Structure 1
Amino acid sequence: MLEWHSIQFVWPSLLWLLATLPLWLGVYIAWQRRGVQRAWPSANMNTGATNIRFRRHAPALLVLLGLGGLLVAIARPQAILLLPSRIDTVMLAIDSSGSMRAGDVQPSRIEAAQAAAKSFVLGQPGQVKLGVVSVAGAAALVQAPTDQRDLVIQAIDQLSLQPGSALGSGIVIALHAMLPGSGLDVRGLIDGETTPPASTGTPLGGPKPAPTGPASGTAPLRPISLPKVPPGSNTAAAIVLLSDGQGNAGPDPIKMAQVAADLGVRVYTVGVGTAQGTVLKAQGMQMRVKLDETSLKKIAEITKAEYFSADNRQDLLQIYQSLSSKIVLKKHRRTEISALCALLGMLLVSWGCAWAWWRHGRII
């Protein structure tokens, strides 16, 4: 969609060439007055004079308009267009912690999530690569990004519930799978420190290197810093995190969401469960598990994505259908439209010349 008010020109001074159009119009009028029109076949006398004049001069008018379009193209016009941004990779980070056994979403949170995830996978365009990350006490890459839908479906079906929920680790693993060349320090982010570089040694008799690492009492190691980009600016990748929001292991998911935001990756979050929750019984213990929307909303907000909530399986299916359209992002981009103006001008010139040849057997 073109925003007409945003049109600008790289070379606006060349728009003065449009002043030559009246000159060409004057040449055509002079040509007509010299009697060239008498060489053309006469029109049907039953047709009105106005219609005769229109059909006689319409080809010239089309050529004149086409020349105007070509002259505008020379000035290199630019405009802001609303363009779709193609997504190349989507990672599904699915919570497989014990709380996903809860039955407040029938038949259970995990089964409803799996069914909706498979519906989402089958609804994606063929060129989009999809991967799966299992988020439990320790997140793990279950399926690397691939365009083979059967492998992704199989990975979703094979998810098994385990104790703990490391949402922050799931975001990091998903980022690393999508952006393997980003230099992301996965171990440092998950463990909270980076591994020091190996010692290069010292010459014999030289001073011994100072000990490094936590054992030496030095300052704690920090993760490697990466160049930051505006949040949501990476339109080729996205993460869909499906969870009940109750993280209890691994790094802080809010901080890991900031890492994703610094890489420009959006993290769409889907809350599975109800606000009231339900009581789970395991190993003689009882625990109420309920949907924690606060952290999921914060993750989506930081990464410039959206949060979706679902209370039942049908809502989940509708959410994933909505996500299919949300992930194909649209953005306003300033684009040069010189080629479009030139194409329009050439079409008008060609149409005018073809019309004149068909009616009169000549172009001029």
Structure 2
Amino acid sequence: MFFLWPQFLWLMLALPLLLAAYVWLLRRRRKTALRYSSLGVVRAAATGRRWRQHLPPALLLLACSGLLLASARPVTRVTLPWSRSTIMLAMDVSLSMRVTDVLPTRLVAAQEAAKSFLLELPKGIEVGLVTFAASSQVVLPATRDRDALAAAIDAFQMQMGTAVGNAIVVCLAELFPEHRLDVGDMTFGGVSRSASAGGGGNGRGRSLDESAKPAPPQITPVPPGSYESAAIILLSDGRRTTGIDTLAAAKMAADRGVRIYAIGLGTVDGEASAADGMPMYLKLDEATLREVARMTGGEYHYAGTAKELRSVYEKLGSRLQVQTRETEIASLMALGAALVALLAGWLSLRWFGRVA
């Protein structure tokens, strides 16, 4: 724990003065009591319940201590649920997802695991859905509507190609609309210049309409994984065949502090068969997915079966539910002190008929 305004801790020196004032008042009352003609009445009234006399003032002193500490604005590390957090779920819908090495098919297993994952997440977390094959599109913007997300997941349509980098950039465009990331410019105009400038330059001619577009803002790179309000979960069963370079897109996510949790699905041998028995040649690009996770401060998981895929999503859900962050607790301490002060006043009124 540390304090934002540590200079206010000097106010704690007032507590011994309050205690000394209380002792002085007690002695003054005893001197007044000696004036009574019958000391037996006074002793009888005080015998057995003397602790009641001191409890309300002790609680009031405790409340003052809490208020003085709160004035110094204490900050501590607290594990809390994510607040206004967003998870972008990017799922591969290329034709290779119809392969049956993960039963019943890769796509169906991924769909069921994703829907189970949504049920595990706290309701306060928003989830956006992106699909990618040769192109990437936002199926559903970030929302808390789990039923709408489940319906969108069930409606996936498979396509040709695999543009993993495009999927990452589309997710970033949803998380940072003010950065004005344009996947079209990056895809057709070269990503290296776009990535370094935050997604703007493209190295190709522009029409008169395109020249009116405002230039994307320059961004200052932050430490990988430092953006705690969002994360990307990327599921793919193959390797990039088109679109933006995957590692260049991962660099853009790392510069913005967004973690990418990559899930590799399917075979790593390069041979499998589709549902209709037609042989297909494909290979999971584990090396690239591992590097994407490493660059962004995320994690890579391989899911070779439907059961493993579900377990991966469950583990990700448990990690993404809470986070430890530095949180100011001055308001909580002040509230606690106020409640203790109210308790002290209530006890004093109940026992003595007055606040003392």
TM tier, shorter chain? 0.7 to 0.9
CA separation of 1:223 and 1:55: change in aligned 2, threshold 3 A: closer
* Aligned residues of 1:183 and 1:226 also touching (Cα < 8 A): no
* Aligned residues of 2:105 and 2:275 also touching (Cα < 8 A): no
User: 2:212 aligns to what?
Assistant: none
TM-fit CA distance, 1:261: 1.7
CA separation of 1:156 and 1:274: change in aligned 2, threshold 3 A: same
User: 1:251 aligns to what?
Assistant: 244
Q: 1:342 aligns with which of 317, 327, 334?
A: 334
Q: 2:352 aligns with which of 351, 357, 360?
A: 360
Asked whether 1:74 is paired with 2:71, we answer yes
Residue deviations 1:277-304 (CA, integer Å, cap 9, x gap): 6433799985443433222222122222
CA separation of 1:329 and 1:56: change in aligned 2, threshold 3 A: closer
CA separation of 1:342 and 1:128: change in aligned 2, threshold 3 A: closer
Separation in structure 2 between the aligned mates of residue 33 and residue 164 of structure 1, nearest angstrom? 92
- More moved, 111-120 vs 75-84: 75-84
TM-fit CA distance, 1:64: 2.0
Q: 1:132 aligns with which of 129, 132, 141?
A: 129
* Aligned residues of 1:267 and 1:299 also touching (Cα < 8 A): yes
User: 1:210 aligns to what?
Assistant: none
User: 1:331 aligns to what?
Assistant: 324
For 2:247, the aligned partner's letter is I
Partner of 1:314, secondary structure, is helix
Residue deviations 1:4-51 (CA, integer Å, cap 9, x gap): 4x4564423433333423333333332342346989895596x5xxxx
User: 2:22 aligns to what?
Assistant: 25
- More moved, 56-65 vs 138-147: 138-147
For 1:328, the aligned partner's letter is Q
- More moved, 278-287 vs 115-124: 278-287
Name the TM-score, length of structure 1 as normaliser: 0.78
* Aligned residues of 2:100 and 2:274 also touching (Cα < 8 A): no
Separation in structure 1 between the aligned mates of residue 253 and residue 338 of structure 2, nearest angstrom? 47
CA separation of 1:77 and 1:333: change in aligned 2, threshold 3 A: closer
Residue deviations 1:205-261 (CA, integer Å, cap 9, x gap): xxxxxxxxxxxxxxxxx9974333332233332221111242222122111011112
User: 1:239 aligns to what?
Assistant: 232
CA separation of 1:320 and 1:72: change in aligned 2, threshold 3 A: same
CA separation of 1:7 and 1:79: change in aligned 2, threshold 3 A: farther
Asked whether 1:59 is paired with 2:52, we answer no
CA separation of 1:363 and 1:314: change in aligned 2, threshold 3 A: same
- More moved, 28-37 vs 267-276: 28-37
CA separation of 1:58 and 1:97: change in aligned 2, threshold 3 A: same
Q: 2:149 aligns with which of 126, 148, 152?
A: 152
TM-fit CA distance, 1:170: 0.9
Separation in structure 1 between the aligned mates of residue 290 and residue 11 of structure 2, nearest angstrom? 51
1:64-103 pair list within 5 angstroms:
64-103=61-100
1:200-219 pair list within 5 angstroms:
none
Separation in structure 2 between the aligned mates of residue 316 and residue 140 of structure 1, nearest angstrom? 23
TM-fit CA distance, 1:112: 0.5
1:215-230 pair list within 5 angstroms:
225-230=218-223
Asked whether 1:298 is paired with 2:291, we answer yes
Partner of 1:106, secondary structure, is coil
For 2:337, the aligned partner's letter is G
Q: 1:266 aligns with which of 259, 263, 278?
A: 259
Equivalent residue pairs, number: 334
Separation in structure 1 between the aligned mates of residue 217 and residue 343 of structure 2, nearest angstrom? 62
Q: 1:15 aligns with which of 5, 12, 17?
A: 12
* Aligned residues of 1:137 and 1:165 also touching (Cα < 8 A): yes
TM-fit CA distance, 1:159: 1.9
Asked whether 1:170 is paired with 2:163, we answer no
For 2:53, the aligned partner's letter is R
The structure richer in helix per residue is 2
Which runs of 5 or more structure 2 residues have no equivalent in the other structure? Answer: 191-201, 210-214
User: 1:183 aligns to what?
Assistant: 180
TM-fit CA distance, 1:94: 0.8
TM-fit CA distance, 1:171: 0.8
TM-fit CA distance, 1:138: 1.9
Partner of 1:181, secondary structure, is helix
- % identity of equivalent residues: 36
For 1:339, the aligned partner's letter is S
Separation in structure 2 between the aligned mates of residue 33 and residue 81 of structure 1, nearest angstrom? 48
Partner of 1:249, secondary structure, is coil
Partner of 2:90, secondary structure, is strand
* Aligned residues of 2:97 and 2:106 also touching (Cα < 8 A): yes
